[in-house]
Structure 1
């Protein structure tokens, strides 16, 4: 069942979104060659505490896994597309493609966003991957307006992936968000324009394109029960914003 949010609720979600944005920026600033992922986790935990926000991910267990998530943020490196665990034994190296996904709860409402960046020196392939994934998010956000359909949002992502020959996560995408981290409706990263749920004011969704350099959509889950990696070992990128559908168009709730 889809729940439609009010401006009062968006105001609270904006506070959660601000905490998410501040945390993502702090983690990115701390990411350098030689830094263990556990240090990024510690930075995220301190930042959310300072913002008086609760981490949405810590202890979260959706239906598809039996393992509660053990971290404050997801840190996914290179072939890990999403849900990477910030293990102490993994250390960042120059050229690593790193995606950080953060959720925060303030006053009973959640915000969710993700960024991807390169540690140290970026090669041309990484720059192209990140630029395309970020463009897909921008285009999808622009399509999130009253009168459009969910397929218009999905198609905006799908079109960029196909134009660049990138794969997407099969069966994974964005979601509704509000008093729970994951709510209806699903927001697929593949779809046809003009199809699906009619968007109307009050709908609040997390849009999250996830592209990888391999052309196929095949992925697998690691033994940790969370990390989803590309089957062919290709590098991945992930960008995400929480977006409110308003009468004046899309409003991004997870900007800094």
Structure 2
């Protein structure tokens, strides 16, 4: 933790003296650390101004996903989804964060059926009855990031696919109940993995959630498998994604060697993912985009 004098300006940007602002808060975190908890550094805790900027980016991000809700259907291509996301993000004053990120070629990720994540939109990938698809949207607005994804069932899907999509969403909602100030990241992973495995599915281990807001990917890394009371302490001002990737078969995944991005289930089974960006507050979690 940053060491400040009692009469120094507080690190949060409030303009108040440290002793009148976050001194007691920091001491509480320090005491958890003394007791053996893994505690966040100041850079993982957003200031009020940053939270407001991230909240606005999240609002635009949610509007983009709402547009996808009304647009997606059998017969469209995943490239059509990319065009919709790109054009409307720009129209709303934002920037599609995935475009050109570390060479990624599109403005959104579209992951169909056995694709776990990072599926690249393609004019030749036409959605058909029975498909399931994850659409992952990240929006930059005034330098701040909002990040969320939703699953869609295209027409009538198999009972297994419907259950997979539903149970994955339910696991995120259960995890939200664990996203409490002064709890632990392990509480979130435990809630998700317990529910997923009880329903006969598996959780991808290699890929998790992440801090977000000032950048696309920040600390902490959020595992969706965990034990209660372990991993990093959750404190007000932390913002991160909860985004379990759930497989109908084994949890193992492979990466496409040609495009360098697309992640598939190793056994070809279906995969589903839902993603929320969450702010930890004293009153409970605030979902900033979903």
TM-score by length of 1: 0.94
Q: Which residue of the partner structure matches residue 90 of structure 2? A: 49
Once residues 159 and 51 of structure 1 are traced to their aligned partners in structure 2, the CA distance between those partners, rounded to angstroms, is 39
- Residue pair 1:137, 1:207 contacting (<8 A) in 2 also: yes
Alignment of 1:50-69 (within 5 A): 50-61=91-102, 68-69=103-104
1:219 aligns with 2:253: yes
> May I ask how many residue pairs the two structures share in their alignment?
248
- Secondary structure of the residue aligned to 2:260 is coil
1:29 aligns with 2:70: yes
Structure 1 spans left out of the alignment, 5+ residues: 62-67
Return the offset for 1:225: 0.7
1:190 aligns with 2:225: yes
1:152 aligns with 2:193: no
- Secondary structure of the residue aligned to 2:198 is helix
Q: Which residue of the partner structure matches residue 47 of structure 2? A: 6
- Secondary structure of the residue aligned to 1:246 is coil
- Residue pair 1:170, 1:219 contacting (<8 A) in 2 also: no
- Secondary structure of the residue aligned to 2:285 is strand
Which stretch shows the higher mean deviation, 107-116 or 2-11? 2-11
Q: Which has the higher contact order (CA 8 A, sep 6+)?
A: 1
TM-align CA RMSD: 1.2
Q: Which residue of the partner structure matches residue 87 of structure 1? A: 122
- Residue pair 2:205, 2:223 contacting (<8 A) in 1 also: no
Once residues 53 and 136 of structure 1 are traced to their aligned partners in structure 2, the CA distance between those partners, rounded to angstroms, is 30
Return the offset for 1:170: 2.4
1:112 aligns with 2:182: no
- Secondary structure of the residue aligned to 1:206 is strand
Q: Which residue of the partner structure matches residue 64 of structure 1? A: none
Return the offset for 1:8: 2.3
- Residue pair 1:187, 1:207 contacting (<8 A) in 2 also: yes
Return the offset for 1:156: 1.2
- Residue pair 1:79, 1:229 contacting (<8 A) in 2 also: yes
Structure 2 spans left out of the alignment, 5+ residues: 1-40
Once residues 48 and 130 of structure 1 are traced to their aligned partners in structure 2, the CA distance between those partners, rounded to angstroms, is 26
Deviating above 4 A after TM superposition, structure 1's stretches of 4 or more consecutive aligned residues are none
- Residue pair 2:137, 2:148 contacting (<8 A) in 1 also: yes
Q: Which has the larger radius of gyration?
A: 2
Q: Which residue of the partner structure matches residue 75 of structure 1? A: 110
- Residue pair 1:22, 1:47 contacting (<8 A) in 2 also: no
Q: Which residue of the partner structure matches residue 65 of structure 1? A: none
Structure number with the higher strand fraction is 1
Once residues 225 and 56 of structure 2 are traced to their aligned partners in structure 1, the CA distance between those partners, rounded to angstroms, is 30
Once residues 102 and 211 of structure 1 are traced to their aligned partners in structure 2, the CA distance between those partners, rounded to angstroms, is 18
TM-score by length of 2: 0.83
Return the offset for 1:244: 0.4
- Secondary structure of the residue aligned to 2:101 is coil
Return the offset for 1:9: 1.6
